[in-house]
Structure 1
């Protein structure tokens, strides 16, 4: 195997050094003393339940006995458990992959719990035979897991292990950051110069150490030779030891309006781009058009999209008359797929079953359902292409390289009357031309001949909500009102799902609860539930408690508005990612309760987030005679905000919540 990839010859061996930082991890395996237990609170985070003292990894490319190369990864970690809330760090899982020929192997696992008893350090070692378990996730993935023994508040935990992987194209990424603070996090990648890896970094912290040192390393490879004799190869090459380290890494915890914390955690990933001399040249990462073409000709993606499929014709005959316009045809096809198929997995790019089997089963993954939709559109001469994307919970996909492992979702793009329409038939309540919010994660790629990139940005989605309330005197101290509300499309989608699972009665109970006081709701109704291409309408009448007290307090928002500031932290190091831009308007016309006068009226306010008015809050309240009028509007022109804008946004919401909590004070006439 190796010989066909090898070019015999001489090449230059020159050592160089990019940087000379010499900082090292503060600890080493097995070196634990009573002094290490003294710290009860760490300055990096005085509220931390546990602190990672050191997290150190290395990855080395070396020759193997299979005629090629493997990646040897070493991982060492020490943790100080401060209280019971940090016990989850005692559970360790190591994921391993195998495709039947190549595999990943766990070796040299050692794990020790240290406790201070009577002034002495007592060790409790993990029993690898009885304490390590294996869970098979599927045919190719398994997890080796263990729990540290004898953990207590104050325990120090320490492990080290080695994995050997035949999958050199994508070594495991390294995360410098996590849910607990880390005093030291370090990773070294030893790369021979004949392999060109790209380093994909993310995060917001500067490196304490970033060096690249060169040395000469011998590579020994044994080619088993199949039925013939084995062959041995030895050669030397320059190797670059790339080292990254960060000191005092703060914990990164998920906060409100975050797609996934994995998008912002400090980490580095690796992807093999090409190999070169002394190996035969080969490029592993191709341009997008070639990758897209390969996928379109792949059996488990696009091979059958344009092939002659009689079962597709049979489906079309059952739902189409043949005389419809392309727009009507595309709607009917989309609705048929959406209404008749159940999605079994919302995170798939490749198909597990053929289109015919999916059509027969009436169920499939998101890839299978939307590829079937694409095939039906194409079979009826409607231009359509599959689009691959990474959902918000899956994290961002890198736009530079076509790294297909980063994508987890497939939708369909159709061209109707010279206009592109995005379709997703995997959601039973999703309308024609709409996508689930999880799809708006930025970069996506059309799998067509030219494979153009498209952006699915949350900023491009705008929710408009309107609420109209009338409150009048009914006599005898009765105060009655009516409410008409049109939520935005995606809020309507959530309400449709809630009604489907819990019924209209539960929605009515939730609305009654939001009032915050005893109220009777009648004539409750929800319109347009089955019109999935538009928002719903909610309407009801309500009757407040008898107004009889000398002093009466009424919040004019009647259960609407924000009760809490979603931004709790004093600071934030990563962007704010709302699901959409918004424009919410609340309008009120109410009569002053009979026999009362207005004693206090909240002052009107207009608040701008910044000079660009990316956020706007209007609170206008007026009193004339026996009537009170109100208009409250909250607008965000964009969905995403930079970390530098967090303080402004937090203060903005704080003022909104405070203002919307203010009440009108009515005083009984004397």
Structure 2
């Protein structure tokens, strides 16, 4: 009796799950009149629904029919009319076809439908392994509804597409219905932070197919959070992972090694190639030889800001143009090292922002960068990426720390999976020497030194921003009334010494009235604003590298003022000493001396750790910003 009852409940549940229907071109008038998103205030547009039905064709191809409808609320969202459907085109793995799209508008009581002209649909090459179908929806304005449907197809029966409930826009409803033929088996990996409306599986009587339905409602638009690991790994989604491994990382590596720019040995007969190799062979010291080749490639080639694990147009053309993607630059480095007699292997991976490779799921689809590894001894290696201006041959680039990678030894044809780590913390020291003027201002000098990854990060930030924006956005840290003069760097040419930064400043001090003046000692420290002030967190936290801060402030108190209150000496520690803060403060001969030492000893935290991390950061910033209080008279 219980079995019958459960079956009846399941039947009703599944019927409800499939009750909603979405007909292309048929739009509810209420949606045409809709002017805002009721669950995400201020949204410029929203996804009304996004539904997909996945199954198998008669030839065992996986086919997904997808139907998406978007509501435009105001002119700020008109760029949503530009549609780009990306897919993995390498080895003819995937394709997108049968595209239909139309824009629906309401003027008074009149509904107008503007279909997309098929001639305005273009297929765009992104790189050797990826393409995109691109088009612009017609007649889009505030109030428009965009209706789009298409078919995605792949010939490989286990290449089931992942389903992302979440995207940049808030979504009122998202549903995927997956039909899996007998003979295929998947594990479902759910990355979700809110409850699914429907999460059910069943086998219809007389059918050799299992059906799986997942749906979710009122999904907020995805917003990047401070120190987030990656977008792809944090958006709410369902992944379909083959229950049996038909591919291996070795078979993936074999496909990579079949690439002509990797398996072939380029003839460096072009533009100084022979000279570089000859000069390298003349260098007897192995480290100096590696450094010479690395720097020649890094300084010769300009990175075009595109990541790829392979070459787009061939290594010879990239070398001749002195410009290339990350794969081309690092493959050139690899071949130059080999020609000079240095054994090297390749590290292929998915970058942080795009979503890392998954060790349990061997596939090419997430791989988008190649770098080079050279053994130092039997246990240690140099990891080299010649795309970064400030990268060195003997320091792992900080953007790669903690990233899972596929090692490929082209000569031995061996593979392995590793995650790059470093035990060496970076450091930043700040020395502030200032005095309070009689007109209520604080002025003085600042000296900052940055080592290891902090050094590189700071120089890269300065290059991107330029002097003016760097001073305004990085140094001032929200102190908009600060006047900064004489800013300069020293030690930029030698990467083995700390980067030094000097400048002078003047700023108005806060005062409660004519009697009290407050000095906030958290000035020009690089710790200006609490990055974890939000009460909630949806993504994991990645601080990338260990870091220490030493902050030392000296504040001369003028005649006519006395010290009313000083921050007390204290120690604060996160559980297991993941982060520790020590503060000491005192007064000597009319000078307030305050010191902070902060050590970030752990780099990764899950979103489940966030409540504790949030509480710790709140207290830490209260201690950092606790003022020195002066009183006149």
Query: Which TM class, normalised by the smaller chain length?
Result: 0.7 to 0.9
| Alignment match, 2:131 | 141
Q: 1:35-84 deviations in whole A, cap 9, x for unaligned? A: 66788777654565555443211123213xxxx55443212234555566
Asked if structure 2 preserves the Cα contact closer than 8 Å seen for 1:383 and 1:414, the reply is yes
| CA gap 1:542/1:180 in 2 versus in 1, 3 angstroms | closer
3-state SS of 2:282 partner: coil
Asked if structure 1 preserves the Cα contact closer than 8 Å seen for 2:372 and 2:385, the reply is yes
| Alignment match, 2:499 | 536
Asked if structure 2 preserves the Cα contact closer than 8 Å seen for 1:389 and 1:445, the reply is yes
Q: Tell me, yes or no, if structure 1 residue 129 matches structure 2 residue 99.
A: no
| CA gap 1:17/1:245 in 2 versus in 1, 3 angstroms | farther
Q: Tell me, yes or no, if structure 1 residue 619 matches structure 2 residue 580.
A: no
3-state SS of 2:415 partner: coil
3-state SS of 1:562 partner: coil
| CA gap 1:637/1:333 in 2 versus in 1, 3 angstroms | same
| Alignment match, 2:210 | 240
Equivalent residue in structure 2 for 1:385, among 345, 350, 356: 345
CA distance in 1 between partners of 2:509 and 2:164 (Å): 60
Asked if structure 1 preserves the Cα contact closer than 8 Å seen for 2:533 and 2:618, the reply is no
Question: TM-score, normalising length from structure 2?
Answer: 0.82
CA distance in 2 between partners of 1:287 and 1:97 (Å): 19
Asked if structure 2 preserves the Cα contact closer than 8 Å seen for 1:465 and 1:584, the reply is yes
| Alignment match, 1:300 | 261
Q: CA deviation at 1:333?
A: 1.8
Q: Tell me, yes or no, if structure 1 residue 396 matches structure 2 residue 356.
A: yes
Q: CA deviation at 1:198?
A: 6.5
Asked if structure 2 preserves the Cα contact closer than 8 Å seen for 1:483 and 1:539, the reply is yes
CA distance in 2 between partners of 1:32 and 1:507 (Å): 49
3-state SS of 2:64 partner: strand
| Alignment match, 1:259 | 229
Give the 5 Å matches for 1:643-654: 643-654=607-618
| Alignment match, 2:3 | none
Asked if structure 1 preserves the Cα contact closer than 8 Å seen for 2:427 and 2:454, the reply is no
3-state SS of 2:577 partner: coil
Structure with larger Rg: 1
CA distance in 2 between partners of 1:546 and 1:158 (Å): 56
Q: CA deviation at 1:388?
A: 0.6
Q: Tell me, yes or no, if structure 1 residue 628 matches structure 2 residue 592.
A: yes
| Alignment match, 2:541 | 576
Q: CA deviation at 1:272?
A: 7.2
Q: CA deviation at 1:24?
A: 2.4
Q: CA deviation at 1:328?
A: 2.1
Question: TM-score, normalising length from structure 1?
Answer: 0.78
CA distance in 2 between partners of 1:574 and 1:636 (Å): 20
| CA gap 1:194/1:499 in 2 versus in 1, 3 angstroms | closer
Q: CA deviation at 1:304?
A: 2.4
Asked if structure 2 preserves the Cα contact closer than 8 Å seen for 1:124 and 1:150, the reply is no
| Alignment match, 1:233 | none
| Alignment match, 1:288 | 249
Q: CA deviation at 1:486?
A: 1.0
| Alignment match, 1:411 | 371
Q: Tell me, yes or no, if structure 1 residue 28 matches structure 2 residue 18.
A: no
3-state SS of 2:116 partner: coil
CA distance in 2 between partners of 1:114 and 1:509 (Å): 45
Q: 1:487-546 deviations in whole A, cap 9, x for unaligned? A: 243332244345556766775676774565555645x54221011244311234557789
CA distance in 2 between partners of 1:299 and 1:420 (Å): 26
CA distance in 1 between partners of 2:20 and 2:387 (Å): 51
Structure 2: tracts of 5 or more residues without a match: 1-6
Asked if structure 2 preserves the Cα contact closer than 8 Å seen for 1:210 and 1:245, the reply is no
Q: 1:66-112 deviations in whole A, cap 9, x for unaligned? A: xx554432122345555666665555444467679887353262535
Q: CA deviation at 1:583?
A: 1.5
3-state SS of 2:395 partner: coil
Q: CA deviation at 1:134?
A: 2.7
Q: CA deviation at 1:391?
A: 0.8
CA distance in 2 between partners of 1:336 and 1:56 (Å): 52
Q: 1:119-170 deviations in whole A, cap 9, x for unaligned? A: xxx43223233795435345873424242646544x6554444455556663
Q: Tell me, yes or no, if structure 1 residue 424 matches structure 2 residue 385.
A: yes
> After alignment, is 390-399 or 194-203 more displaced?
194-203
3-state SS of 1:452 partner: strand
| Alignment match, 1:601 | 566
Asked if structure 1 preserves the Cα contact closer than 8 Å seen for 2:382 and 2:396, the reply is no
| CA gap 1:19/1:407 in 2 versus in 1, 3 angstroms | farther
Q: CA deviation at 1:243?
A: 3.0
Equivalent residue in structure 2 for 1:433, among 369, 394, 399: 394
Q: CA deviation at 1:468?
A: 2.1
Q: Tell me, yes or no, if structure 1 residue 55 matches structure 2 residue 43.
A: no
Asked if structure 2 preserves the Cα contact closer than 8 Å seen for 1:17 and 1:214, the reply is no
Give the 5 Å matches for 1:313-462: 314-319=275-280, 321-324=282-285, 326-418=286-378, 419-440=380-401, 442-448=403-409, 449-456=413-420, 462=425
Q: 1:261-294 deviations in whole A, cap 9, x for unaligned? A: 22111223457798xxxxxxxx8x4322343245
Q: CA deviation at 1:423?
A: 1.0
| Alignment match, 2:551 | 586
| Alignment match, 1:3 | none
| Alignment match, 2:4 | none
CA distance in 2 between partners of 1:547 and 1:150 (Å): 50
3-state SS of 2:553 partner: strand
| Alignment match, 1:226 | none
CA distance in 1 between partners of 2:172 and 2:438 (Å): 69
CA distance in 2 between partners of 1:115 and 1:180 (Å): 22
Asked if structure 2 preserves the Cα contact closer than 8 Å seen for 1:424 and 1:430, the reply is yes
Q: CA deviation at 1:384?
A: 1.6
CA distance in 1 between partners of 2:30 and 2:327 (Å): 56
| CA gap 1:297/1:136 in 2 versus in 1, 3 angstroms | closer
| Alignment match, 1:492 | 455
| Alignment match, 1:182 | 171
Q: CA deviation at 1:444?
A: 0.6
3-state SS of 1:586 partner: strand
CA distance in 2 between partners of 1:308 and 1:507 (Å): 41
> After alignment, is 130-139 or 141-150 more displaced?
130-139
